[in-house]
Structure 1
């Protein structure tokens, strides 16, 4: 992919879906492709085989680079034109690294409460 983004996220997680809807990336990066990590899309298998654990964090392919977890949400915050507190907080690498494990724990708890499995 030469331009735009591929975003790999958990399509069954309500927080992940809401975050994807909130982002306003198209004007900044062009084409944005949302890929549900639960789908049978072969690119999901390629990322998993490359060592990216999508149950531990979302992934973003931007050009030839792949960002995972806190780095992925930081990149999305930097590229997003959405205004808001969450974007401001996540733009900092340090704050994103601190907050991401909390967000991931919230996702796991929510999936458990909704009686949904993780990605594995």
Structure 2
């Protein structure tokens, strides 16, 4: 039986996002996690864009044919995540509550925006929003 492929789509050029995606683990019983760079042209980015989701405002988790965006994505990752290792346990305890995820995620997104601005990175701008090329 083929295991479900779960996609985590994020900005590979963001050091904080990249570090998070390198250490996050999901339970083996859930499926196989595949990390996808949102800056690459691929089918899942086309799907994200067609749904009107701004990848600059949140990561996307695709699981079971459904897209989870931003706080929903980090909450879902906490629920399916492995509890092995300090980081994964902390991730679970911080984001297992949907309310906590919705409170904390905007703060993380704000810190990400500042970091990318300091690094001189451009936005992905998958929705082609005017004036949306810099953080």
2:56 match: 55
> Does the aligned pair in 2 maintain the 1:28–1:81 contact within 8 Å?
no
Q: Unaligned stretches of 5+ in structure 1?
A: none
Query: Structure 2 CA distance, aligned partners of 1:6 and 1:30?
Result: 10
Q: Unaligned stretches of 5+ in structure 2?
A: 126-135
Tell me how many residue pairs correspond in the alignment: 119
Shift of residue 26, structure 1, vs aligned partner:
5.5
Larger-gyration structure (1/2): 2
Q: 1:119 aligns with which of 115, 121, 124?
A: 124
Shift of residue 35, structure 1, vs aligned partner:
0.8
Q: Would you identify which runs of 4 or more consecutive aligned residues in structure 1 move more than 6 Å?
A: none
Query: Structure 2 CA distance, aligned partners of 1:61 and 1:94?
Result: 21
Q: TM-score, normalised by structure 1?
A: 0.91
2:108 match: 103
| Structure 1 segment 10-49 matched on structure 2, within 5 A | 10-25=11-26, 27-49=28-50
Query: Structure 2 CA distance, aligned partners of 1:84 and 1:26?
Result: 12
Q: Could you say what the CA RMSD is over the residues aligned between the two structures, in angstroms?
A: 1.5
- Secondary structure of 2:68's aligned partner: strand
> Does the aligned pair in 1 maintain the 2:60–2:67 contact within 8 Å?
yes
Shift of residue 70, structure 1, vs aligned partner:
0.0
> Does the aligned pair in 1 maintain the 2:10–2:37 contact within 8 Å?
yes
Shift of residue 46, structure 1, vs aligned partner:
2.1
Q: TM-score, normalised by structure 2?
A: 0.81
- Secondary structure of 1:32's aligned partner: strand
- Secondary structure of 2:102's aligned partner: helix
